[in-house]
Amino acid sequence: MFPVVPEQALLELARTEGGPDTLALLVRDQDTRRLLLLRAVLDAAEAAERSVCTTAQKARLREDWALLTEADRMPAADATPDPGHRRGHAATRSDRDGRALPGAGSAQAPASFANPARARLFHPLTGPWARSCLRGLDAAPGPAEGERGLRLRRDLAHFSAIAAVVAAGAGIPFSTRLTARAGVLALPSLGALHTARSGDVPVDVTCADGRLVLRQADAPDVTVHLESGAGAWSGALAWTPAHALPGLTPAAPPLPLDDLDPYRELPPGPRHGNLRTPLALDDAERKRWLQAWSGTALALRSGGAQRLAEAGALLRCLVPLETPPDVGTGRGSCSATRREAFGGLLSSTPPDSVTLAATLVHELQHAKLAALGDLVTLHRAVPAARYFAPWRTDPRPYDGLLQGTYSHLAMAAFYQRRALVGGLPDRDWAWAQHARYRAQVGAALPALVGSPDLTVRGRRFVDEMAAAHGRMADHPAPRGHVARAQAYVASARALWNQRHGSALPPSNG
């Protein structure tokens, strides 16, 4: 069902590159997995005990899926209409049973969507919502009470909002009742309504002629006007529109800068450290984002044409985060990706365009390698954390070392390309960055290449990574930068050995 990765694509990705066909393959596969994940939510709800998911909740889910399926069948505005499709048709029995979900039977979900439904279904933050639903629905039978019960009720109610947004984007008239969460009704990609009452309160929504009318008790109606693609505006103070940045290139659509979605927060755990606080943007923060974004395409291109191409192919939304106090000033920033939110990138407010471009390069490598890992088994290493990584103070598992080395290899290439561009005011700084990243990769590669847990294709992958690292020697950094980078890595290794020497495997010595 899932595609085979050609050898050429594997080698392109090992070099931290990827041509249009290779990137499209990753995107199609991730979109197919998203559709299957959405279908899994409905299946889990149908199979859940009534104490976990009530009969009424299951019926509402089926109604929402029927509306979503109808929206998915709508042709694009410039497409030839299907003579068998009638606008506003009644849902078929298979729709109501949830068996005609959008594209769930196809392994070739298109990278560019024929209708607005797909674009909204593939919004990155739909993934964390679906995972949260599955965790709640897979709970042991028994009354869904307390925090777990509240979370599941909100998760299921949020799908009604997703279905409404998809239907509105497809131009389907409807009337439905949604539920605000803690006084906020978030409509993904459109905006959010702040209700007159606090708590989880009902909001009646009517959609017709490109407008949504939001009606709640004890408050005036709010009329929201849909915009093309994403976003919606209203003159009501209770409405906060979704924000977007201009397209990365003139032909690209606007890129959502999502500070409203309730599923944008990073999950707890050591992987993301203290990067868990999403940021609600004010005017000043939005201006800082826009200022940095305005030069990001140029900065990406200066680090290699493929960097701009991969950002255009893979990036679907940015999620602003608060800057942790330990990041500091200057060019400091923090960022993350989530495996279940393909196409989404979380970042603190970038100080400048080069920093934002470097963040995109770094984080998109994690997205590429995670997507490749869904298609190809690169290794069978156990998850024990025992490897030295010069960019971390703690031991790393083999997979974590591979992820970090891969992203650092891309950063070394990005800064080397920038340093080789004549006339850049920060050329010396780019050489210093390249030297450090390359030295860090060189310290980690022996453990990757020497692992007995690599598969045949995994060995081809890490060998090509090593070859790409070696080719960088054709254009070396100034010797002073190289010496300082090597001293930095040696110091990091010595400190790591003092703290964790007993965990160090021989192949990483």
Which amino acid makes up residue 117?
Answer: A
Sign for the CA dihedral angle at 263, 264, 270, 274 comes to: negative
Rounded to an integer, the average pLDDT of 378-388 is 95
- How far is Cα 296 from Cα 113, in angstroms, rounded to an integer? 26
Residue 508: how many CB atoms within 10 A of its CB?
Answer: 22
- How far is Cα 85 from Cα 70, in angstroms, rounded to an integer? 10
Rounded to an integer, the average pLDDT of 387-416 is 97
Query: What per-residue confidence (pLDDT) applies to 79?
Result: 46
Which amino acid makes up residue 471?
Answer: R
- How far is Cα 262 from Cα 185, in angstroms, rounded to an integer? 10
303-353 residue pLDDT tens: 999 999 999 999 999 999 988 776 655 566 789 999 999 999 999 999 999
90-101 residue pLDDT tens: 333 334 344 455
Query: What per-residue confidence (pLDDT) applies to 142?
Result: 63
> Is the separation of the CB atoms in 434 and 466 below 8 Å?
no
> What contacts 203, CB < 8 A, 6 or more positions away?
177, 178, 179, 180, 185, 193, 195, 214, 215, 216
Packing angle of the helix pair 126-137, 20-47 (nearest 10 deg): 30
Rounded to an integer, the average pLDDT of 404-430 is 95
Q: Residue 312: which of 360, 348, 352, 356 has the closest Cα?
A: 360
Query: What per-residue confidence (pLDDT) applies to 276?
Result: 54
Query: What per-residue confidence (pLDDT) applies to 83?
Result: 38
More confident residue, 218 or 152: 152
Q: What is the CA radius of gyration of the chain?
A: 24
| Residue 139 banded pLDDT, cuts 50, 70, 90 | confident
CA atoms within 13 A on the CB side of 106: 10
> What contacts 463, CB < 8 A, 6 or more positions away?
14, 449
Rounded to an integer, the average pLDDT of 222-236 is 91
Cα 292 to Cα 14, 94, 295: the distances in Å are 29, 48, 6
Q: Residue 57: which of 38, 74, 44, 70 has the closest Cα?
A: 44
Query: What per-residue confidence (pLDDT) applies to 506?
Result: 55
- How far is Cα 489 from Cα 499, in angstroms, rounded to an integer? 15
Residue 356 CA to chain centroid, in angstroms? 16
343: left (phi over 0), alpha (psi -120 to 50) or beta: left
Give the global pTM. 0.89
Residue 43 DSSP symbol: H
Q: Give DSSP secondary structure letters for 208-228.
A: ETTEEEEE-TTS--EEEEE-S
More confident residue, 81 or 223: 223
- Averaged confidence pLDDT in the chain: 88
Query: What per-residue confidence (pLDDT) applies to 143?
Result: 62
Most confident of 67-71, 83-87, 185-189: 185-189
Give the torsion through C-alpha atoms of 245, 248, 253, 254, to 10 deg: 0
Q: Flag whether pLDDT at 115 surpasses 50.
A: yes
Cα 272 to Cα 275, 277, 319, 335, 496: the distances in Å are 6, 11, 15, 9, 21
Q: Give backbone dihedrals phi and psi of 14, rounded to 5 degrees, phi first.
A: -60, -30
Q: Residue 429: which of 418, 438, 439 has the closest Cα?
A: 418
Query: What per-residue confidence (pLDDT) applies to 64?
Result: 96
147: left (phi over 0), alpha (psi -120 to 50) or beta: alpha
Rounded to an integer, the average pLDDT of 131-138 is 94
Cα 291 to Cα 148, 297, 322, 328: the distances in Å are 41, 12, 18, 20
